[in-house]
Amino acid sequence: MIGTHELKKRDFYLKKLIGFRDTEPVKVVTGIRRCGKSSLLKLMVLHLRESGVAADQILEMNFESYEFRDMTEESLYRYVKERVPAGRRIYLFFDEIQRICGWENAVNAFRVDFDCDIYVTGSNAWLLSSEYSTYLSGRCVEIRMLPLSFREFLDFNGFSVRESESAFGGTRLQILGANGEYYDPKEAFAAYLRFGGMPGIADVGLDQEKAFALLEGIYSTVVVRDVMEREKRKGVRQINDPSLLRRIILFLADNIGSSVSISSIGNTLASAGLLEERGRKGAPSAHTVQNYIGALLENYFFYEARRFDVKGKEYLRTLGKYYIVDVGLRNYLLGISDRDRGHILENIVYLELLRRGYDVAVGKVGEREVDFVAVKAGEKKYYQVTESMQSEEVRERELAPLRRISDQYEKIVLSLDPDPIAGYEGIRSVWLIGWLLRE
């Protein structure tokens, strides 16, 4: 059991769980392995105890524990039934519950038979597949968890953000360390780009060798346990070539933010001679590649941004883009490099928009492209992401597609320019680092 002194706050997600407390839906926390789901459940348990819930009304079970290795849906039901307090509500916390075959039958029975409030976590999207929804008939709510935001990264590593009045007008942001020293936000952001946002980094410290060792463990666990073994549990052995899987992972990691055609990936790998060491003859089929990418999406290793025709107001079937769940994992896979920095910044912004609850697509405006169309509860925003707007050529490239959008929704260019021009003909220009820290 995690001691409460070791827990670091994830208030953004905890508030969501608290908001659904004592409501009928099963609360399902999803996200890549080691992104903080177990700690979030512990934080919710702590909240319940602090609000007066008795210890015997809270039942925690982590199905990666050896204690529950042989548990079935029937024995899970019996185990819980024996611990339900008479005449009082029980709060059930099930961590990595997908490891129990038929778990959805037991969870549905708890909901029907007992006065309970249920919270579960899982490291793959299969938790919310058609099989699961059949049993719960829509009576569940998903809390999608991601690795640390830039602001959380600073908090986990002992830094805080200070905003003060500048002597020259306006405000300025500074990063305050635990040692009382102030640091330039650009320096802190460079560390975030290097180490990424997996919470475990804070435990090993900002040391490259230790961080990569931790990321290697996460990568191996996700690929071997969650991707390869996932097919065994479902009874469909589609992912049976770990070498091909790694090649596809490396390809997608190297091409974040680029338009990708599923049909061309296998041919690209084959033509580059990257499949020859396994004696494979010819390129894998598009169907095979699609299965492998589907498994990576299902386990939250990558996210797909579909293309959206802004004028036609419809999603397009071709040439989506893929973003990796954590830039630190990308650095582990490909090595640290300043090349492709623009797409790395895109990746950071894409994940941040997801955290803020937006549905995010890549915008198509005629022959041009808007990096992101972000929609939430009737609100829509258009984003372009670039390193700098100092060059006239870059300004024209970034502004041109936004100028062609005729609606009145907000249009924003995010850049690393510390003092960007306020705007261009109604298009806001915003400092990316400040956007990450302030909003």
Q: In sequence order, what DSSP letters do the residues of 29-93 get, joined into one string?
A: EE-STTSSHHHHHHHHHHHHHHTT--GGGEEEEETTSGGGTT--HHHHHHHHHTTPPTTS-EEEE
| Residue position matching structure tokens 């075959």 | 101
DSSP bridge partners of 372: 383
pLDDT at 124 over 60: yes
What pLDDT score was predicted for residue 236?
A: 54
What pLDDT score was predicted for residue 130?
A: 45
What pLDDT score was predicted for residue 4?
A: 42
How confident is the prediction for the chain on average, in pLDDT? 89
The secondary element (H helix, E strand) that includes residue 361 is strand 359-365
CA–CA dist 316, 364 (Å, integer): 9
- Contact between residue 127 and residue 99 where contact means Cβ atoms under 8 Å apart: no
Question: What is the mean pLDDT of the segment spanning 11-38?
Answer: 94
- Contact between residue 429 and residue 421 where contact means Cβ atoms under 8 Å apart: yes
DSSP bridge partners of 314: 309
b/e 53-62 (16+ beta carbons within 10 angstroms → b):
beeebbbebb
Q: What is the pTM of this model?
A: 0.92
- Contact between residue 429 and residue 420 where contact means Cβ atoms under 8 Å apart: yes
pLDDT band at 284 (very low <50, low <70, confident <90, very high): confident
pLDDT one-digit tens code per residue, 101-111: 888 889 999 99
pLDDT at 414 over 60: yes
Q: Quote the percentage of the chain above a pLDDT of 90.
A: 64
CA–CA dist 15, 21 (Å, integer): 10
pLDDT one-digit tens code per residue, 154-166: 999 999 999 877 7
Written as six digits, the tokens of 210 are 């230790």
Out of 13-17, 79-83, 140-144, least confident range = 140-144
103 vs 128, residue with greater confidence: 103
CA–CA dist 91, 376 (Å, integer): 31
Question: What is the mean pLDDT of the segment spanning 130-150?
Answer: 78
* Cα torsion through 33, 63, 40, 252, rounded to 10: 10
Q: Which of 44-48, 259-263, 295-299 has the highest mean pLDDT?
A: 44-48
Helices (H), 236-285: 242-254, 262-271
pLDDT at 233 over 70: no
pLDDT at 2 over 90: no
Pairing of strands 410-415, 379-385: parallel
What pLDDT score was predicted for residue 424?
A: 85
Helices (H), 137-180: 150-156
CA–CA dist 26, 257 (Å, integer): 34
Pick the CATH number of 4-144 from 3.50.50.60, 3.30.1130.10, 3.30.420.40, 3.40.50.300: 3.40.50.300
pLDDT band at 65 (very low <50, low <70, confident <90, very high): very high
Question: What is the mean pLDDT of the segment spanning 257-275?
Answer: 81
Q: Which of 7-11, 245-249, 349-353 has the highest mean pLDDT?
A: 349-353
Q: What are the residue boundaries of the structural domains of the chain, listed by start?
A: 4-144, 150-202, 208-438
What pLDDT score was predicted for residue 5?
A: 45
pLDDT at 300 over 70: yes
- Contact between residue 416 and residue 130 where contact means Cβ atoms under 8 Å apart: no
pLDDT at 3 over 70: no
Q: CB within 8 A of 125, min separation 6: which ones? A: 30, 297, 298, 299, 300
pLDDT at 348 over 80: yes
pLDDT at 419 over 80: no
Cross-sheet strand order for the sheet of 182-183 = 160-165, 171-176, 182-183
